[in-house]
Amino acid sequence: MARKHKPEEIIGKLREAEIVLAQGGTVADACRRIGVTEQSYYRWRKEYGGLKMDQARRMKEFEKETPGCGGQFQI
């Protein structure tokens, strides 16, 4: 069964992956290191790429409050 990661965990894993990539590693190496598939990595990077922890938390809270928006809003 798939594990649901919290936004804080996702941002932490993305930062760890960025470190691996900056050291010359490949995306496959980074994904193996953080324990996710490349598909998840790219989806997370698209959704959480430039966000800080508090911004991601606010975004998720907003999505819960407004279920009809369907993720239309980009921060």
Can you list the residues of the chain whose pLDDT is less than 50? none
Residue 7 has what pLDDT? 84
pLDDT for the residue 64: 76
The predicted structure's pLDDT at residue 70: 56
Distances from the Cα of 28 to the Cαs of 1, 3, 14, 67, 73, in angstroms? 22, 20, 13, 34, 30
Residue 56's closest CA among 3, 1, 12? 12
The predicted pLDDT at position 48 comes to 84
pTM of the entire structure?
Answer: 0.68
| C-alpha–C-alpha distance, residues 58 and 5, integer Å | 16
Looking at residue 38, what is its pLDDT?
97
